[in-house]
Amino acid sequence: MKICSTIGELNEALKDRKDRVVGFVPTMGALHRGHISLVNESISNSDITVVSIFVNPTQFNNPEDLSKYPRDIEGDSRLLEAAGADIVFVPGANEIYPGGIDFSGPIPRSVGSARHVDLNGLDRYGEGPRRPGHFEGVVEVVSRLFDIVKPQIAFFGEKDFQQLAIIKHFTKELGYKIEIKGCPTFREDDGLAMSSRNLLLEPQKRRAAPLIYKSLIEAAQIARSAPHPPITPPELADITTKKIDSSPELKTEYAEIINSLTLQPAESWDEEAITLCVAVYAGKVRLIDNIKLR
């Protein structure tokens, strides 16, 4: 496995890529089995697997969240080598944002390289209004990484449901010839969605956190009731919120039932594809999850 810290080193490592499929797994490090499942998917579908580790400042609207984000490059590298990754790209901020980063405002911004993409309302609900600037940062860093790595396939987890939809959208809008492959959410034995942020949970908060997925499962059972659910999507979202908040260790920021394609609120069960998305605070740690209802 080759570890590259500069674009020049990465290009050298990929110099024999002709007629070979390059699979790409972008990460922010602090890797867990969910990340490794993406690497395994890439290995199964590609000739060369590249994994990037870069904690991107421009998608954090909370400086404290950025500073506390877990980092373990050595541990991550060992996991990736054991998994069979071919190349690990660990760039500094100057490689991704050669113009620098402006930290003077509430949201860090790269200098002179921002890409503006019409997100077509995909950021209007869910994470969008709660994390202003977040998805602009995602578009910016992922598009920059696509330009650098030039993969044929890129792999992303379905836990970040809204992010996955936005990445698929901008990939098409910007004309990238890259297949975006969503991979199922990996979970702990008790149902908690795997996340690098789980490492920051206090013990009592960690014990309470599985209630999130349990509440999603119960909501899915109601939504799939035959012949028709007894309540509306907004009512079910409210029930889910109350269920999660029944634990004194958890506080729901939002529970929204949305059209899986447009990401707009679902007011009835007549829509073809529907997903329930939640964001929940366990103390200071913010956890997200989702479940397909239809």
Catalytic residues: 35
The CA angle 163-167-172, to the nearest 5 degrees, is 155
Residue 105 burial (10 A CB sphere; 0-12, 13-18, 19+): exposed
- Whether 107 and 62 have beta carbons less than 8 Å apart is answered as no
> Rounded to whole angstroms, how far apart are CA atoms 55 and 57?
6
> Rounded to whole angstroms, how far apart are CA atoms 130 and 23?
32
Pairing of strands 251-259, 179-183: unpaired
**Residue 194 gets which letter from DSSP?**
P
Please identify which residue in the block is written with the tokens 């003077």.
104
Residues sharing a CB contact under 8 Å with residue 271, sequence separation 6 or more, in sequence order: 259, 294
